[in-house]
Structure 1
Amino acid sequence: MEHAVRLDRYRPGSIGEVVRLHGAYYAANWGFSSRFEADVAAGLGTFVARMDGDRDLFLTAWIGDTLAGSATLDRTITGGDGADGEVARLRWFIVSDAARGTGVGRLLLSHALAFADERGYRLVWLTTFAGLDAARHLYESHGFRLVAETGEDKWHGGVGEQRFERRVDDDGPARAAGT
């Protein structure tokens, strides 16, 4: 890359840029409608307005003044398994077309998981859908495992939901087989 990647937290305009990345990518590649983009905008806006910087993370990656990607950790949403206080959800993880394949996604995910580990989160979970093969490989290389699949389409794009989890035991993050 010509310019170094700079990680940052919130900066003015970053919410809109993250929403733009999601809307543009998922419309062009998956045919998602404006309803998906509106859901991203509403959810991300609500998250940033209530986030607590000590327990939640809004992380952005920049190349120059251009957003290259983002990842968030939302600690207020439990994993539904009774592990309140030790659970965070990875959300709004995306890398721009220009930065895809450059390591920006790996950098964002590594920093987000380090944040989770520093806070003692024993479970980090995310939802996605089948077909995002590069993302799935990245998740699995960081210890996530596919734990559930449903036909529920939360994205309004005709895709079913997958849930991945990364659990930490007393010896550290659980790793996927073979990693």
Structure 2
Amino acid sequence: MAHQDRRDDDVTVRAADRPGDLGWTVMAHGELYDRQFGWNTDFEALVARIVADYAADHDPSAEAAWIAEADGERIGCVFLVRGDDPEAAKLRILLVTPDARGRGVGTRLVEECLAFARKAGYRRVVLWTNDVLVSARRIYQAAGFILTAEEPHHSFGHDLVGQTWTLRL
């Protein structure tokens, strides 16, 4: 059952540091984006690369990942990793499961990312998304991100419009 427009105190946001967290992140993205948008396994491969790079060589003082849980089940995730510019972090692979949407989970995950980015000394957070991800874009806009670039591309089996959003901290 979906919950609409309410924050739930029974949702826990924690570090993505338990066995299965990283694998769940890849699996959930692959399954949900296929179901919702018909995206092919190229998208799952992209997420797997992001997760593998994080798992193999992340600096805990500058990079982190979180899992949202409710009733002992994973319902969301987000990663914050170093950007190409040392002053900029990248917010990556935000996901909230369909049953958990509308409960403030995505907002809480983004807030956790931004708090960490500030504490780590970043001056900006940048993210790349696609215009079809309307709910995620609303979360980014509410957090103060500004659209800084748009470009059509063909990825994941579809014609899409990629977007870069930036937040100055």
Fold conserved (TM > 0.5)?
yes
Q: Which amino acid aligns with 1:139?
A: Y
Contact 1:30 1:157 in 2 (8 A): no
Aligned to 1:173: none
Give runs of aligned pairs for residues 1-179 of structure 1, distance below 5 A: 4-9=10-15, 10-75=17-82, 77-78=83-84, 84-168=85-169
Summarize the Cα distance change of 1:102–1:28 in structure 2 as closer, same or farther, 3 Å threshold. Answer: same
Count of matched residue pairs: 162
Q: What per-residue deviation string (whole Å, max 9, x for no partner) do you get for residues 146-165 of structure 1?
A: 11100123544321211000
Contact 1:36 1:156 in 2 (8 A): no
Unaligned ranges ≥5, structure 2: none
Runs (4+) of structure 1 moved beyond 3 Å? 153-157
1:130, CA displacement in angstroms?
Answer: 0.9
What is the TM-score with the length of structure 1 in the denominator? Answer: 0.84
CA RMSD of aligned residues (A): 1.7
What is the identity percentage for the equivalent residue pairs of Structure 1 and Structure 2?
34
1:138, CA displacement in angstroms?
Answer: 0.8
Corresponding residue SS for 2:164: strand
Contact 1:153 1:161 in 2 (8 A): no
Contact 1:95 1:104 in 2 (8 A): yes
Unaligned ranges ≥5, structure 1: 79-83, 169-179
Higher relative contact order (CA 8 A, sep 6+): 2
Summarize the Cα distance change of 1:163–1:155 in structure 2 as closer, same or farther, 3 Å threshold. Answer: farther
What is the TM-score with the length of structure 2 in the denominator? Answer: 0.88
Q: What per-residue deviation string (whole Å, max 9, x for no partner) do you get for residues 28-58 of structure 1?
A: 1111112211221122112222111111011
